[in-house]
Amino acid sequence: MTEEELKAIIVAELKKVAPESDPSGLGADEDLREALDIDSFSFLRVLVGVSEHTGVDIPEADYGKVTTLAAMIGYLAVRQG
């Protein structure tokens, strides 16, 4: 998948947990949870959804590595099969 495709998946999953928000307007280095005011459970739902769409497992130990849009795209880009 391209970075644009990965971004579209992430934005779609963020929209599911924060339907009133506009995650497409997020800055690449903004903290996703803070910017969208979502709790840890909602963020976990985003990670599960992204994982299901990309086939990339994100272990709990790596949650801190995917806190921004840029970080998550980079993480997924190097791990996709």
12 pLDDT higher than 90: yes
Architecture of domain 3-79: Orthogonal Bundle (1.10)
pLDDT of residue 26: 92
Query: Measured between alpha carbons, how far is residue 39 from residues 29, 36, 54, 80 in Å?
Result: 18, 9, 23, 27
The count of other CB atoms within 10 Å of the CB of residue 76 is 24
Q: Is the confidence at residue 14, as pLDDT, over 80?
A: yes
Spatial contact of 55 and 65, defined as CB atoms under 8 Å apart: no
Mean pLDDT of 8-16: 97
Each domain of the chain, given as residue ranges in start order, spans: 3-79
Q: Residue 76 — very low, low, confident or very high, per pLDDT cuts 50/70/90?
A: very high
- Amino acid in the structure at residue 27: G
Q: What is the pLDDT of residue 81?
A: 72
Q: In the prediction, which pLDDT does 24 show?
A: 87
Q: What would the pLDDT profile of 22-63 be if each residue is shown by its tens digit?
A: 998 999 999 999 999 999 999 999 999 999 999 999 999 999
Tell me the C-alpha distance between 74 and 17, whole Å.
22
